[in-house]
Structure 1
């Protein structure tokens, strides 16, 4: 009386295959939707983190004051272009951790002020300069072309940073 076996039905295997396909499609759809939700959330977190990082790199404008008005004008002009430097590559430093850059041959007091106006305070930052940075810094500080290379600021700064 109870000898009915569902596997003996003529279309049982087709029904099982159909249920397997439907379960697979439903699993794919559910996974896709949840993955899209996760991706949207992660993209929002990334945008928020990028804004936070930009805020960290954005330095407050430090008013440059000096007895010499011409010097102040030059330093303010240089400070206005500080955002052109790739600080993610050379490193970020603050004035309170500044090295005495005048120790580098070719860097005098006014040149040190120019470097500080750009946000360059340490030997490590100068040691991280590449050729593109050297050309850009040379242009920004309005200094003699090629002087940074001739005086080997990068090498001197690397040696001083190690000490």
Structure 2
């Protein structure tokens, strides 16, 4: 303990030297930061703003061309296929030339076929299938397309034998 009291003035001088070094570093960093900001501001304001704006507008116009790319709406917010998407899928997937076309005015009661309830019949009518004769002339590709379009279980139409039942009912 005597040693600390004997050298107290050295510790005080050392503390003041550390405090001075801290203050000197703090002040110089503030001064340097202010000069750096002033230099960068003067550099940027010295450039021709019109050239910069023209370049930016040109780049933006390259990126964003209104109407050049449009997303096709295939599903509604609830995740259900939109009517336009269904229509295009129906036209591309179901061969109405081979199965024939029907209309709502003289439609058959499709619920007579085992496996077709009111909900499924409504979906079949929505894609253009109204008659037993249409179901009787379905190909395997048509069956798969219809199952996908009405969101029915894959293979269920074959297991329930809709085609055979429709053939029997269309003869009656």
Note the residue ranges of structure 1 that are not aligned, 5 or more in a row. 1-69
Residue number in structure 2 paired with 1:83: 91
* Number of the residue aligned with 2:139: 130
Provide, for residues 83-139 of structure 1, a one-character-per-residue CA deviation record: whole Å limited to 9, x for no partner: 232110100111111000011000010100100010000000000011111111111
Count how many residue pairs are aligned between Structure 1 and Structure 2.
93
**Rg larger in 1 or in 2?**
2
Query: 1:20-47 CA deviation, whole Å, 9 max, x = no partner?
Result: xxxxxxxxxxxxxxxxxxxxxxxxxxxx
1:102 to 89, 108, 111: 111
Asked whether the equivalents of residues 94 and 121 of structure 1 are also in contact (C-alpha less than 8 Å), the reply is yes
Pairwise CA distance, 1:79: 4.8
Deviations 1:66-89 (A, max 9, x none): xxxx7xx66846456332321101
**1:92 aligned counterpart, secondary structure:** coil
Contact 1:81 1:118 (C-alpha < 8 Å) held by counterparts: no
The TM-score with structure 2 as length reference comes to 0.49
Matches within 5 A, 1:1-80: 76=83, 78-79=86-87
Secondary structure of 2:105 counterpart? helix
Distance 1:87 1:104, change over 3 A: same
RMSD: 2.0
Residue 159, structure 1, aligned to residue 156, structure 2: no
Deviation of the 1:141 alpha carbon: 0.9
Query: Which ranges of structure 2 fall in alignment gaps of 5 or more residues?
Result: 1-77
1:151, distance to aligned residue in structure 2 (A): 0.3
